[in-house]
Amino acid sequence: MPVIAVVNRKGGSGKSTFAAHVASWCAHQGLAVMLGDIDRQQSSRGWLRRRDASLPAIAPWVIDQKNVLRVPTGITHVVLDTPGGLHGFELSRIVMFADAIVMPVCPSVFDRESAAACLAELHTLPRVAKGQCKVAAVGMRVDNRTSGADTLRAWAKEANVEMIGVLRETQNYVRCLERGLTLFDVPKDKATIDLGQWESILQWLQPVMNPAPAPEVKREPILPVRKPSVLGARPLHETHRNSVLTESRSTILGGKPLNEAGRLAVVGGTQR
């Protein structure tokens, strides 16, 4: 089950805004997505409550008394919003099961320094070091009239992290979130510039959310290859191979069913 976590120690860097948008994008792709909010502020959960039921559905998080995050039945994709100040054990628990971590970073020097420290910690974690959990940064709240985007790109190079996009500072985000919406929920012509800025980000997320099917296993034909005697008929070994492929695709693209991957025992006592 693909899991994307939105992480940055720095408060107010745009984590909840970004997480809500990724979840909404998944919902528009027809994916059964959950937006898990492990921040005590519950910004994402509050946003979900404001979201109109007629919009593509995003499931809220479910947490039990043991602080275990449960993935509701039928969910195949998870987006996690996390609190500021996440580090140490709490951070490593998120990395344990995330397939990708996206870090929204604002351009100020304080934001860049804080994000660099968080990245340095992430790079020490085995799943990140081995590439099992991908990490990328996104420029957030960048004023187009400044050199903020260039500054952030230079910072990303130094911090050894891929910069997958830069989102501008605009009230469009603020207005949407107030109404339980994201930019993906409004008519495209109302957010052309901003949706354009999301393209490179979504391109990066696409293979994480829809992992490629496992490579086809080459099998020797069971029967000798013969020309079909009847027009349109296929040799047996070809039919066999196709059925194997279909089977493996449906397993991978559909994500694991809940009973296999439904319990993410990673959340608990996320302290500031």
Ligand X SMILES: Nc1ncnc2c1ncn2[C@@H]1O[C@H](COP(=O)(O)OP(=O)(O)OP(=O)(O)O)[C@@H](O)[C@H]1O
Interface residues with Mg ion (CB under 5 A) are 15-16, 43
Take residue 153 and report the two structure tokens written for it.
């790109």
Q: Which residue is nearest to Mg ion (CB)?
A: 16
How far is Cα 143 from Cα 16, in angstroms, rounded to an integer? 19
Least spacing, CB of residue 107 vs Mg ion, in Å: 19
Q: Closer to ligand X by CB, 3 or 32: give it.
A: 3
91: Cβ contacts below 8 Å, ≥ 6 apart: 7, 118, 121, 122, 125
Nearest approach, Cβ of residue 262 and ligand X (Å): 26
Distance CA 51, CA 45 (A): 10
To the nearest whole angstrom, how small is the minimum distance from the Cβ of residue 109 to ligand X? Answer: 17
Give the footprint of ligand X on this chain (CB under 6 A): 11-17, 39, 41, 43, 83-84, 140-141, 167, 169-170, 173-174, 177
Q: Could you tell me the smallest distance in angstroms from the CB atom of residue 136 to ligand X?
A: 16
> Are 142 and 135 in contact, with CB atoms under 8 Å apart?
no
Q: Of Mg ion, ligand X, none, which one does residue 177 interact with (CB within 5 to 8 Å by kind)?
A: ligand X
Cα 240 to Cα 226: distance, rounded to the nearest angstrom: 15
Nearer to ligand X, 1 or 26 (CB): 26
Q: Choose between 99 and 194: whose C-beta lies nearer to ligand X.
A: 194
Under a CB-based contact definition with an 8 Å cutoff, are residues 105 and 140 in contact? Answer: yes
Is the Cβ–Cβ distance between 109 and 71 less than 8 Å?
no
Please state, as a whole number, how many other Cβ atoms lie within 10 Å of the Cβ of residue 37: 27
**Order of strands, sheet of 263-264, starting from the edge strand that comes earlier in the sequence:** 62-63, 69-70, 263-264
Q: Which two tokens stand for residue 219?
A: 């099998």
Question: In terms of CB distance, is 1 or 4 closer to ligand X?
Answer: 4
Nearer of residues 26 and 140 to Mg ion, judged by Cβ: 140
End-to-end, the C-alpha distance of the chain in Å comes to 28
Closest distance of CB 63 from Mg ion, Å: 16
Least gap, CB of 110 to ligand X (angstroms): 13
Report the residue number, 16 or 92, with the smaller CB distance to ligand X. Answer: 16
State the binding partner of 11 from ligand X, Mg ion, none, CB within 5 to 8 A by kind.
ligand X
What is the three-class DSSP state of 34?
strand
Q: How many CA within 13 A on the CB side of residue 116?
A: 16
Residue carrying the six token digits 């994916």: 31
> Is the CB of 76 or the CB of 155 nearer to ligand X?
155
Least distance CB 14 / Mg ion (angstroms):
8
For residue 253, the partner it binds in Mg ion, ligand X, none, with Cβ less than 5 to 8 A by kind, is none
Contact status, residue 38 vs residue 81, Cβ threshold 8 Å: yes
